[in-house]
Structure 1
Amino acid sequence: MPLIDISIAEGRSAEQVRALMAGVHQVAESTVDAAPENITVIVREVPREQWSRNNQTIRERESATEDAAIPNTPADAHDAEN
C-alpha cells in the first residue's frame, strides 16, 4: 500500500496539482504493481516564505531574481557613467 507524500511550493493551479497526483498514481501502479485502490497520494503545498534552502526562502530567491532582472533606468546609467 504505497503512501506517497509530496511537498511542493504553493502557486500551482488545481489542474496542475491534480495532474501531478494522477501521474504519480499511474507510475506507482505500474512500477510497484500496486492496486489502484491501495495507492494514496498526498500533495502538501508549502508557502514560499516557509520553504528554505541554503538559508534563503523561495520568496527571497524570487525577489532577488526579480531585482536583478530590472534594467537600469536612464538615471542609473547616467550615475554609472559619472
Structure 2
Amino acid sequence: MPIITVKMLEGRTDEQKEQMIKKMTDVMVETTGARAEAVSIVIEEMNKANYGVAGKRLS
C-alpha cells in the first residue's frame, strides 16, 4: 500500500491537485505494479508565513 506525501505551499486549485493526484498514482502503478486502489496521496499545504528559504520567510 504505497503512501505518497506531498508538502507544498498553499495556493493550488482543486483541479491542479486532482491532476497531480492522478498523475502521481499513474506513475506509482507504472513503476511499482501497485494497484491504483492501493495508492494513497496525502497533500500537506504550508502557509508562506511558515516556510523559509535562505534565511527568509516567503511571506
Compute the TM-score of the two structures, normalised by the length of structure 1.
0.67
CA RMSD of aligned residues (A): 0.9
Aligned counterpart, 2:17: 17
Instruction: Please say which structure displays the higher CA radius of gyration.
Output: 1
What is the CA–CA distance in structure 1 between the aligned matches of 2:57 and 2:20, rounded to whole Å? 23
Give the letter aligned to residue 39 of structure 2: I
Aligned counterpart, 2:53: 53
> How high is the sequence identity, in percent, across the aligned residues?
22
How many residue pairs were aligned?
59
Output aligned runs, 1:1-82, within 5 Å: 1-59=1-59
Given that 1:21 and 1:43 are in contact with CA atoms closer than 8 Å, whether structure 2 keeps it comes out as no
- Give 1:33 shift: 0.8
SS in 2 for 1:34: coil
Q: Greater strand percent: which structure?
A: 2
- Give 1:47 shift: 0.5
Compute the TM-score of the two structures, normalised by the length of structure 2.
0.89
- Give 1:29 shift: 0.7
What is the CA–CA distance in structure 1 between the aligned matches of 2:12 and 2:57, rounded to whole Å? 17
- Give 1:2 shift: 0.8
Moved over 2 A (4+): none
Q: Greater helix percent: which structure?
A: 1
* Higher RCO (C-alpha 8 Å, min separation 6): 2
Structure 2 residue runs of 5 or longer lacking an equivalent are none
